[in-house]
Structure 1
Amino acid sequence: MGTPLPSREEQAEEVIERLWEEYPDATISLNFSNRLELLVAVMLSAQCTDERVNEVTAELFEKYQTPEDYAEADVDELAEDIYSITYHNSKADYLKSSAQTIVEDHGGEVPDTMDELTELKGVGRKTANVILQHGHDLVEGIVVDTHVQRLSRRLGITEEERPDAIEQDLLPTVPEEEWQWYTHLLISHGREICTARNPECDACVVEDICPSSKLDHDVDLASGEPWEA
C-alpha cells in the first residue's frame, strides 16, 4: 500500500511551517504610515506591482495627506499624478469617490468593518481584508491575490478557481492564527520561486510535497493543465 495523501489541513500546516523558515520576515511590501495611505496604496496595487505603487505614492502622499485632499481633487489631475499606475483613470475616480464617502459618512476616518469598507467604490473583499489586517489589526479572512490563488491550487490546498471561493475554502483549512501570514508567505514564495511561468522547482522548499512539481510531472496536477512555458 502507498503512503496515504495528507489532508488539506495537514498540507497547509506543513507548507506554512516550511515557508516560515524560508521567509521569517514576510510581511506587506506596500509603504504607508497611516490607514488612509494604506487604503490608497492597496487600491492602486490592483493589477500593478507593489514596487511601482511605492514609487508613485512616495510623491502622492506628500501632495494628498487627508481624505479631504482626495475628495476635493480634480479627478483628471489625480489621474495624472498616478499616470504610471495600471488603470490610472479608473483608480483616480475610485480614490476620489471613496474619499468623499469617508468624509461624508465616516467622519474622515477609514472604516473598520468589512461591510463599510466594501461599500467604498473600488474596494472589494481582498482590499478590505488588507485594510482590516494592517490598518485595524482585525483578521476576518485571508487575502487572496494572484500569488495566493496560484500557489494554493498548485500545492493542492484548494481546487477552487475564483478568489472569493478560494478564500472560503481556505478559511477552515488554514489555522486561524495563520490567516494573515499565509498570504504574505505565499506572496514571498510566489515572487521568489513559484512564479507563474517558470517556477524554480529545484530550489523550492516544498517541492517534495507539491503535487504540481515540474521535477516529477509534465502537467500541473492542481489544475490538470500543462505548465506554461
Structure 2
Amino acid sequence: MRWEQKSATTQRRFHVWVRRFQVLVSLMLSSQTKDQVTGAAMQKLRAHGCTVENLLATSDEKLGELIYPVGFWRNKVKYLKQTSAVLQRDFGGDIPNSVEGLVRLPGVGPKMAHLAMDIAWNQVSGIGVDTHVHRISNRLGWFRRPTKNPEETRKALEEWLPRELWSEINWLLVGFGQQVCLPVSPLCSSCLNQNICPSAHQSSPVKRPKAGSPRSPKSLPFKTKTEPGQELALNDETIKQEPRPETVSYMRPRRKNKCPL
C-alpha cells in the first residue's frame, strides 16, 4: 500500500514537472513566432513526447521537423537540447524556481523567465515585457521619458503599476498589439483609447533602407533609366530623365497630294 501511494505521488510530481517544462518550451518557441505556429509546434511536440528525456533522445533533424517553421528554428533546436541537458543534470528534470536560475538557461531571457515564474510556479516575480508591451506602453505615454528596450520598459512599468496587475498586463497588451495597436498602420480609428492616446492618428514611422542596401539612394547609380516623364530624386536633387531612344517616334513628312487636274 505504501509503495502504491509512493508511486502515485511520484507520478503526480512527474506530471507537474512535465507541465512546467512544457511551459518553458512553449515560451522558448514563441520568440519571434506567431501564436498559431507556436501552438502547432507544441501540439507536435506533445504527441512526440515533450519531456526532458525524450528531447535529449531525439535527433536534431527530427526535433527540427517537429518545431518547424517557428522563427529561428535551427537555433531553438540547439537551445532546447542544451536547456534539457542542464535541467536533467542540475535540476532533476524540473525547471528552476527563480528568475536568476531561469535566465541562466540557454535561449531564456528575462521576459520568458518572468512569464515562466507566473505560469509554471504561480509566482509573480515581475512583468513579462515583449515587443508589444514595449511599443504600446511608449505609444500611450506611460513614462516620463521613452524607454529604449523591453528590459528598461519592465523596470519603468514596475515603478508605478500596482503589483496585482503585473500578471495580466502582458496578456492584455499582447492581444491588443496583435489586433488593434499594430506595429505598422495601427487601427486608431477603431481603438477605444484614441481620445486619450497621444500617438493616436499619427502615421507609422517609415523604415529607411540601410546604407548600401539595393534600395538605398547612395547605392543607386547617378544615371538610371526611367520611363518618359518620370523623375528620380538623388541626393536631394531632382533629375529629369530623357526619354528612351526607342520611345521617340520619327514621323516622315507627308507627301503633298498632287492635284488630279
What TM-score, normalized by structure 2, do the two folds share?
Answer: 0.69
Q: Give the aligned residue type for 1:165.
A: E
Aligned mate of 1:126, from 92, 111, 118: 111
Supply the RMSD in Å over aligned alpha carbons.
1.6
Over residues 74-115 of structure 1, what are the superposed CA-to-partner deviations in whole Å (9 max), with x where a residue is unaligned? 223212221211111110110111011111100111111111
Structure 2 residue aligned with 1:194: 181
Q: Distance in 2 between matches of 1:48 and 1:149?
A: 17
Matching of residues 66-105 of structure 1 within 5 Å: 66-105=51-90
Structure 2 residue aligned with 1:160: 147
Q: Give the aligned residue type for 2:47.
A: E
Q: Distance in 1 between matches of 2:90 and 2:162?
A: 35
Q: Distance in 1 between matches of 2:130 and 2:50?
A: 27
Which is higher, the Rg of structure 1 or of structure 2? 2
Aligned mate of 1:115, from 100, 115, 119: 100
Q: Which has the higher contact order (CA 8 A, sep 6+)?
A: 1
Matching of residues 1-229 of structure 1 within 5 Å: 34-158=19-143, 159-214=146-201, 218=202, 227-228=205-206
Structure 2 residue aligned with 1:25: none
Q: Distance in 2 between matches of 1:207 and 1:56?
A: 36
Kindly state the Cα deviation for residue 228 of structure 1 after the two structures are TM-superposed.
4.6
Structure 2 residue aligned with 1:7: none
Structure 2 residue aligned with 1:10: none
- Identical-pair percentage: 31
Q: Distance in 2 between matches of 1:197 and 1:205?
A: 18
Query: Is 1:198–1:228's contact at 8 Å kept on the other side of the alignment?
Result: no
Query: Is 2:44–2:67's contact at 8 Å kept on the other side of the alignment?
Result: no
Kindly state the Cα deviation for residue 154 of structure 1 after the two structures are TM-superposed.
0.3
Structure 1 segments, 4+ long, off by >3 Å, are: 226-229
Q: Distance in 1 between matches of 2:98 and 2:60?
A: 27
- 5+ residue gaps, structure 1: 1-32, 220-225
Moved more, 184-193 or 65-74: 65-74
Structure 2 residue aligned with 1:4: none
Q: Give the aligned residue type for 2:66.
A: D
